[in-house]
Amino acid sequence: MTALRTLAFLSLIGFSTSQTSDCSYYSLLNYLNMTASNSVLQIMRPVKSWTNSTLVQLDMFLLGILEVEEKSQTITTHIWLYMSWTNEFLTWNSSDFCGIEEITLPKSLLWIPDVRINEDVSDTGSIQESLLVTVNSSGWMYMSGRQRLTYTCCLDLMMFPFDTQSCNITFSTMSLNEKTIKLGTFNSDEVLNKVSAEAMVTMGEWDLKSLITFNGPRARNRLRYMVTMERKPMLYVINLIVPLFFFLILDLASFFISEARGEKLSFKVTILLSISVLLLILQDMLPSTEKSLPMIAMYCVGVFALVGISVLEAMLVTFLIDLDCYCGKKAQSSVNASEDIQLQMGDVTESAEAEERGQAKEDRCYLPDHRDLLKLILDELRAVREEAGRQYKENKKRGCYRRLAEITDHVFFVLYFSASALFLAFMYLVWIAKVI
Ligand SMILES: *[C@@H]1O[C@H](CO)[C@@H](O)[C@H](O)[C@H]1NC(C)=O
Ligand SMILES: *[C@@H]1O[C@H](CO)[C@@H](O)[C@H](O)[C@H]1NC(C)=O
Ligand SMILES: *[C@@H]1O[C@H](CO)[C@@H](O)[C@H](O)[C@H]1NC(C)=O
Ligand SMILES: *[C@@H]1O[C@H](CO)[C@@H](O)[C@H](O)[C@H]1NC(C)=O
Ligand SMILES: *[C@@H]1O[C@H](CO)[C@@H](O)[C@H](O)[C@H]1NC(C)=O
Q: Counting ligands in written order, which one lies closest to the CA of residue 93?
A: 3
**What residue type is 6 in one-letter code?**
T
Ligand 3 neighbours by CB, cut-off 6 Å: 93, 95-96
Q: State the average pLDDT for the chain.
A: 83
What are the φ/ψ torsions at residue 125 (nearest 5 degrees)? Answer: 100, -5
Residue 18 pLDDT: 43
- Considering only residues 360 and 307, tell me which one the structure prediction assigns the higher pLDDT: 307
Among protein residues, the one whose CA lies closest to atom 6 of ligand 1: 33
Question: Which pLDDT band, with edges at 50, 70 and 90, does 179 fall under?
Answer: confident
Nearest CA residue ID for atom 8, ligand 2: 52
CA-proximal residue: ligand 3, atom 14 (nearest): 93
Residue with CA closest to ligand 5 atom 8: 168
Q: Is the pLDDT of residue 83 over 80?
A: yes
State the pLDDT at residue 258.
79
Nearest to 224 by CA among 211, 210, 205, 237: 211
pLDDT value of residue 263: 83
- Per residue in 380-424, pLDDT (tens digit) is 999 988 988 887 776 666 678 888 888 999 999 999 999 999 999
Backbone torsions φ then ψ of 145, nearest 5 degrees = -160, 155
pLDDT, tens only, 211-269: 999 876 565 788 999 999 999 999 999 989 999 999 999 999 998 887 766 788 889 99
User: Which ligand sits nearest to residue 84's alpha carbon?
Assistant: 4
Q: What is the pLDDT of residue 19?
A: 47
The answer to whether the CB of 90 is under 6 A from ligand 1 is no
Helix (H) / strand (E) containing 397 = helix 368-435
Q: What is the mean pLDDT of residues 138-160?
A: 91
Give which of 288, 299, 67, 304 is closest to 157, Cα–Cα. Answer: 288
Is the pLDDT at 8 greater than 50? The verdict is no
Distance 47 CA to ligand 2 centre (A): 9
- Across 315-367, where does the E strand assignment appear? none
In whole angstroms, what is the distance from residue 358 CA to residue 363 CA? 9
Whether pLDDT at 126 is above 80: no
> Which of the pair, 345 or 46, is modelled with greater confidence?
46
Q: What is the DSSP letter of 296?
A: H
The 10s digit of each residue's pLDDT in 298-339 is 999 999 999 999 999 999 988 888 887 777 666 666 555 555
| CA of 89, nearest ligand number | 1
Looking at residue 142, its pLDDT comes to: 93
Q: Is the peptide bond before 161 cis (omega within 30 degrees of 0)?
A: yes
Residue 73 clears pLDDT 80, i.e. is over it: yes
Instruction: Provide φ and ψ at 285, rounded to 5°.
Output: -90, -40
State phi, psi for 86 to the nearest 5 degrees.
-115, 135
